[in-house]
Amino acid sequence: MGVGLLLALSLSLAACGGEESSGAAGGGGQASGELAIEGSSTVQPITQAVAEAYKQENPDVRTSVGGAGTGDGFEVFCKGETQISDASRPIEAEEQDACKQNGVDYIEVAVAFDGITFVVNNQGNDWAQDITSEELKKTWEPGSKVSAWNQVRSDWPGNPLGPPELFGPGSESGTFDYFAETIADPDAEEPALRTNYQASENDNQLVQGVAGNPNALGFFGYSYYENNQDTLRALALDDVDPTTETIQSGEYPLSRPLFFYVSSQALEENKAVEPFVDFYLGDLDKFVEQAQYVTLPSSLEQASTQHWEDRTTGTVFDENGEPKGGDLEAAFKQSQ
């Protein structure tokens, strides 16, 4: 399926109605116009919450929020087809080149922390309470032959753990990339996992898959676990439970920042962009908590917001995907 069609199919209208316009509406300070946002399904619940709240105050703005995946989001963003791109990882070198070739400059904004969470069905498998990075690598690395739970840990039962029981995001997902690069195959030139598993860019489908299979193992963003604890159980990773505290502190091994990217060209040409982003960042913690993600430390949030207010373009990450200056807060401050 082409990306253009994928975008059209994946966009979820957060707001409808009102006359289409490219400028700010007169009277009452309300905005109007259209915004197209695509990208990470992990970040989507936060941006969706913002869009719905913004619609209440600005009924003449039509905002579409898609969740096709970070990679697909950057593809259409760098073609100038969207104004904002949600991302569960930093923009990569090839995507930076694509944006440059198409004359798309961007402002990078951190919005929250997430912890990639590994879950099982919470019925009938009380023996599965934790897992290690090495066991995850054994299960998910390219070419893995694991097909039963006792092949992961010898004192676990021989219940099936093959392609029908494994659920995870597809290759266009930033969650896929982050897990592959961090644990499953960190030495590979391109992010890769085993190919024989139940893959979807729709995290709700992954939730349903694990909830419907008593032997399942799956992974996705922390919020999707938090919202489905009646059917799912999170596994501790390397003896650390995924919690708000461990994710924010970085103690949880798969803690990561989440972002959105704003097109500088769209900011100049579409008067609906600036008030939407200002609204987003003006009450950021509320929206992050509403979506059940982890808020940024206040100093990091201030540094990231300043990046937006200064209209600083480009990424604060180096060619290896590491924050320039050692940590994310330092990287944002260094860029100012």
Q: Where are the domains of the chain?
A: 3-112+258-335, 117-249
pLDDT of residue 168: 98
Q: Which residues of 225-253 are buried (b: 16+ CB within 10 A; e: fewer)?
A: bbebeeebbbbbbbebbbbbebbbeeebb
Coil, strand or helix at 297: coil
- Using alpha carbons, select from 86, 89, 80, 90 the residue that is nearest to residue 65: 86
pLDDT of residue 10: 39
Which tokens sit at 28? 């009452």
pLDDT of residue 16: 36
Which residues are within 8 A (CB) of 322 and not within 5 positions of it... i.e. 6 or more apart? none
pLDDT tens series, the chain, 336 aa: 343 433 333 334 333 333 333 333 333 467 778 999 999 999 999 999 999 999 999 999 999 999 999 999 999 999 999 999 999 999 999 999 999 999 999 999 999 999 999 999 999 889 999 999 999 999 999 999 999 999 999 999 999 999 999 999 999 999 999 999 999 999 888 999 999 999 998 999 999 999 999 999 999 999 999 999 999 999 999 999 999 999 999 999 999 999 999 999 999 999 999 999 999 999 999 999 999 999 999 999 999 999 999 999 999 999 888 999 889 999 999 988
**Are the C-beta atoms of residues 24 and 32 closer than 8 Å to each other?**
yes
CA–CA gap between residue 251 and residue 242 (Å, rounded)? 9
pLDDT of residue 160: 97
Pairing of strands 60-65, 12-13: antiparallel
CATH fold match for the domains 3-112+258-335 and 117-249 = yes
pLDDT of residue 148: 98
- Using alpha carbons, select from 217, 224, 237 the residue that is nearest to residue 166: 217
CA–CA gap between residue 41 and residue 43 (Å, rounded)? 6
CA–CA gap between residue 157 and residue 110 (Å, rounded)? 42
C-alpha to C-alpha distances, 267 to 75, 251, 308, nearest whole angstrom: 19, 37, 11
CA–CA gap between residue 234 and residue 238 (Å, rounded)? 13
- Provide the whole-model pTM: 0.87
Provide the residue type at 87 as one letter. A
Write the CATH number of the domain with boundaries 117-249. Answer: 3.40.190.10
pLDDT of residue 124: 81
Q: Which residues of 63-85 are buried (b: 16+ CB within 10 A; e: fewer)?
A: bbbbbbbbbbbbbbbbbebbbbb
Coil, strand or helix at 104: coil
Superfamily of structural domain 3-112+258-335: Periplasmic binding protein-like II (3.40.190.10)
